[in-house]
A and B are shown apart, each in its own frame.
Chain A
Amino acid sequence: MGIRTMALRNLGRQKRRTVLLGAAIAFGLAVVTLVNGLSAGMIRSLEDNLSNLFTGQIFITGTEKTDNGKVVQRIDNDAALLKAVKDLKIPYVYESRTSVVPQAGLISDTSTAYLTLYGVDFGPDSFLSRRLSLLEGTLNLAGTNGIIISEGAAKSLDVKLGDRLSVQATTETGQQNVVDFTVRGIYRDIGLASSLAGAYADRRQVNVLLNLAPTDYNQFGLYLGNITQVEFWGQKLYAQLKAQGVPLWPRSSDQSQIDQELRTQTWTGTKFLLQTLDDKLSIVRALFSALDAAAFAVLLILYTVVMVGITNTYRMVVHERTREIGTLRALGMQAKEVRRLFLWEAVFLALGGIIAGFIAGAVLLGVTSLFDLSSWKAFTILLRNNHLHPLVDAGSFFVDLVVVTALTAFAASFPARKAARLLPAAALRQNF
């Protein structure tokens, strides 16, 4: 009989003890699988939802500096950008040309809401038609003064379809401007802060508000679909533009640093700023990473407690099986093999606990995704179709598997070494 078979059999001899130890390991792993799965799913949903809101995942903004030091965001010639995208054969789902108005004041007869207004190109292939969940109205506003707002904005402004909204904003050069829009669509809330939950209107109308030429815009966006490819293509595009001699700002996710550079530096012509969704979400991502790290720290604390339990249990096991060890040694089993026997027992125990814990965690994740959380307004941005969309990451499962197995084996190594050092004659003489 091989050592591993013996180890498995030994685990079966004390079923209750094995189940309890395994359950402790399984519990820890289930918790970590649950936390990791939920946080990974939430951040993916956040990325997807914001990709739709921001009209892309890779963004290029054109910046110009006026004679009196004002920064104007404008792209009036995108030939170099399109060439770079074409040369690289970037596999994008759609491209967008957006005129973004941060902090646009939407003024109704009774109230005012400040939010981001996106001037977009409407049409049958518009990304909005695929991405926004419209409650009422139309998504085709091409050539009209219509505006689409969120359910929450409509409520706070006390407006319905057909009502007029005056939109106040600062033009690209800093002048105050007001343009009237008519509410033509209301979309389902996605649980964003009101400043982020955007309003959408035809780009040409928004350009009137910003005092831009009808064909100009201030943000070029690429939507790749596959979020994991965004940073890769972002870097490639940056390198390609640089190789083409296009003036570029250094890549940075630190918005205050970018603002500082824009304010203090002087340049002529258009200088482009390339950012990815990762850059825009770096703070949120850091928050979720901290959550993952905290979950891992909790796991380590939990397992330290479990390891102490395993060490004590195996000391007891060695004590209980001293005569058995003496017999095995008398029959020719080497000290090294005795040590290995106990270590394999610990490894099998850990593997069993890990697999059970992982399955339990995955089942719990599956259960959490069944609930309709549409009433959970504040967190809708973290949901997909009003449901949690947990993701199980094979990489982090593998890390957990290695760490937990190693810790369990480490905890059992002390009693295993003690068992290996027992002299056969002394062990056989042991009386309890």
Chain B
Amino acid sequence: MKLVNTMKGLLVVLLLSVGVMPAIGEDLSRFQALLAKIDEQTDFRNHDLSATVTVISHKPGEDDNVIQCEYFRRDISDKFVILIKKPEAQKGQGYLKIGDNITFYDPDSGQFSTVTGSSNFQNSDAKNSDFQDSTLAKDYKVVSAESYKLVDKDTWKLTLEAVRNTVTYPKRIVWVEKSTNLVLKSEDFSLSGRVLRTSLYGRYIQIQDRFIPQIMRFEDNLKKGQVTMLFIQNPSLAKLPDTVFTRAFLEKVSQ
């Protein structure tokens, strides 16, 4: 709880006290190219990515739920594996994404079940799809753009609309730092136009020519006071064995 509040305070102070610059008319195709740039910068297509991830979710009236996991990603073949290490009750549970299919492994039952990218990760405000590579250019078209001062950072505030009705959020607004082309903030909307979630992305680190945020904060806009912090630590681009991205791996390591 203390950790969440500290991080929350930091990020809120840093990112939420916004200043607005007058909107300017821009050629939207330029911003479509910006989406592709964002995807490219956060895509580890030429490498495997592994990291330790800590997810802290806070719900009013409940103790904070802290989950630690190992995270393995191979963007070239659209795969990831998440293996939960803590707490003890969830230890050994895991997720395997191959293409569009995400399966969840429960070592207690020894069964795999299908989950969706739009499902919440371990009852937190992070979605399973938050662990995959960015696909903004493929999923969205830019419908408006304006210059925006987000705290002390010059950003583009882009309003995006899904190009297919199978994309989790039909509308998103993203704030992209002009100097780095990195997403700092996002608001995700429902089909009916309600803000469902506000996400903040901070402390990007550069690994070779790619970027990854070390901290993400997801706030549920429907459920008051419900916040999830996601920390990515010890990222590595070391080559992973092919066997990591298999069901057998999840079964084996959970034993």
Which residues of chain A have a CB within 8 Å of any CB of chain B? 66, 68-70, 107, 109, 112, 166, 168, 170-171, 173-179, 208, 211, 256, 259, 263
Contacts and interface: CB of A to CB of B under 8 A. Distances in A.
Given A174-B116, A177-B190, A70 B222 contact: no
List the 9 closest pairs (A to B, CB-CB), nearest first. Answer: A177-B191, A178-B190, A173-B165, A178-B194, A177-B190, A174-B166, A173-B166, A176-B190, A107-B222
B169 interface: yes
Interface string B159-199: 00010111111100000000000000000101110101000
B114 A259 contact: yes
Given A107-B222, A166-B222, A174 B191 contact: no
A179 B196 CA distance: 12
A69 B167 CA distance: 13
Interface string B29-69: 00000000000000000000000000000000000000000
B100 A174 contact: no
A170 B118 contact: yes
Given A68-B100, A211-B165, A174 B118 contact: yes
A179 B167 CA distance: 18
Contacts of A69: 100
A66 B162 CA distance: 16
B216 to A, nearest CB: 18
A103 to B, nearest CB: 9
A290 to B, nearest CB: 19
B135 interface: no
B224 interface: yes
Contacts, number: 61
Contact of B196 (A70, A109, A176): A176
Nearest to A66: B166
B17 interface: no
B53 to A, nearest CB: 23
A171 B114 contact: no
B164 A68 contact: yes
A379 B2 CA distance: 42
Given A170-B118, A176-B118, A211-B191, A68 B223 contact: no
13 contacts: A107-B222, A107-B223, A112-B223, A166-B222, A171-B191, A174-B165, A175-B165, A175-B166, A175-B167, A176-B168, A176-B191, A177-B190, A263-B101
Contacts of A168: 190, 196, 222
Contacts of A175: 118, 162, 165-170, 190-191
A228 to B, nearest CB: 33
A376 B59 CA distance: 31
Q: Which of B101, B165, B167, B169 has the most CB of A within 10 A?
A: B165
B14 to A, nearest CB: 27
Interface SS of chain B? loop
Contact of B222 (A171, A178, A208): A178
Contacts of A263: 101, 114
Nearest to B99: A69
Given A170-B116, A175-B191, 11 more contacts: A109-B224, A171-B165, A171-B191, A174-B118, A174-B168, A175-B169, A177-B191, A177-B192, A178-B194, A178-B222, A211-B191
Contacts of B192: 177-179, 208
Interface in B187-226: 188, 190-192, 194, 196, 222-224
Contacts of B165: 171, 173-175, 211
A265 B146 CA distance: 45
Nearest to A168: B222
A175 B171 CA distance: 10
A221 to B, nearest CB: 25
Contacts of B224: 109
B166 A176 contact: no
A315 to B, nearest CB: 54
A158 to B, nearest CB: 12
A70 B166 contact: yes
Contacts of A107: 222-223
B114 A176 contact: no
Contacts of A259: 114
A180 to B, nearest CB: 9
Nearest to A262: B114
A175 B166 CA distance: 6
B105 to A, nearest CB: 14
Nearest to A70: B166
A350 to B, nearest CB: 46
Contacts of A174: 116, 118, 165-168
B123 to A, nearest CB: 10
Contacts of B169: 175-176
Contacts of A208: 192
A367 to B, nearest CB: 40
A173 B191 CA distance: 11
A259 to B, nearest CB: 7
Contacts of A178: 190, 192, 194, 196, 222
Nearest to B188: A176
Nearest to B127: A176
A175 B168 CA distance: 4
Contacts of B114: 259, 263
A170 B119 CA distance: 9
A405 to B, nearest CB: 45
Contacts of A256: 113
Nearest to B165: A173
Contacts of B164: 68
